[in-house]
Copies of this chain bind each other. A is one copy, B any other.
């Protein structure tokens, strides 16, 4: 596969966790990568994330809520990986309008920019399994009812549907991947805004007990970031993905307590403890969740390659090496 050789690729949220890993993979394939990131301290962007490719990409610091900047930046690009987003569920409840501006309004203006200035562009949108809310059945496939449990879920859904609508009505090639829990080097570890695994890794490396909410029996699925990046690349390159929504997921499904045990057993020390759900988390907890990802497996030939044992080891090694950067980065 080298659909990206010499292609001009725009990545929104490109200094973030998944965006920076995607940028590295695209550079390795010979793509000409432009990264858009706002470097808002509460979000995932971090220049250290692209240190190894700093001279091989163009970095444009701006906010996706800036319609004039985005109008210019989409011009002439072959691909847009649209990953910029506000991911914190708690922040979406305390600042709902900001969440709406980033996850819905900015998405609409990016699509308008493409429609008016570059309708040939191919777009992959990073959506989320949060849209399904509390599952009616497991594993959750793409036909599962949509039932967001927080402002973030509602706005991400609007953002996803604008993409599909612009595909259906205007023929702009767009598709969406509904990501499940993604983890790996580059994830935010300062707090739980991006993934609870970030704060777990930090607690482990600081010698604090990992805090598992509730009884720890809640099932989840996880993708190592390389597998997520691979899915994004396959979706961008495939003609079949046009107008589609695909779940990501994993063959490994694990309870949160068992996950904590696994992390503690990796040789970096640490411990875990069960603690009651904080009130604001409890209100939006969804119980067990794991995806049926057979659609993307069949249509795009995607399967996760990195198991939890290996992925967690890579992750914790990375942060034990680079913790000064991620702990202190503001």
User: Given A108-B97, A283-B169, are A161 and B148 also a contact pair (CB < 8 Å)?
Assistant: yes
Selected contact of A112 from candidates B96, B104, B168, CB within 8 Å: B96
Whether B165 and A148, one on each chain, are in contact in the complex, defined by CB atoms closer than 8 angstroms, is: yes
Say which residue of B97, B145, B158 sits within 8 Å of A155 (CB atoms).
B158
From B105, B108, B154, give the contact of A162 (CB < 8 A). B154
Interface size on A, residues (CB 8 A): 26
B93 touches A109 (CB 8 A): no
Copies of this chain present: 2
> In the bound complex, how far is the Cα of B148 from the Cα of A169, in angstroms?
12
Residue of B whose beta carbon sits closest to that of A95: B112
Structural contact, A104 and B96, CB atoms closer than 8 A: no
What are 12 A-B contacts with C-beta separation under 8 Å? A93-B169, A100-B108, A100-B158, A104-B104, A105-B105, A148-B161, A150-B169, A151-B165, A154-B161, A155-B158, A157-B158, A169-B284
CA distance A151 to B104 in the complex (A): 11
Q: How far is the CB of A261 from chain B (nearest CB, A)?
A: 32
- Per-residue interface assignment for chain A, residues 124 to 157, with 1 indicating a CB less than 8 Å from any chain B CB and 0 otherwise: 0000000000000000000001101111001101
Alpha-carbon distance A96/B165, docked complex (angstroms) = 12
Within 8 A of B (CB), among A140-189: 145-146, 148-151, 154-155, 157-158, 161-162, 165, 168-169
Closest 6 CB pairs of A and B: A154-B161, A158-B158, A154-B158, A96-B108, A169-B283, A100-B105
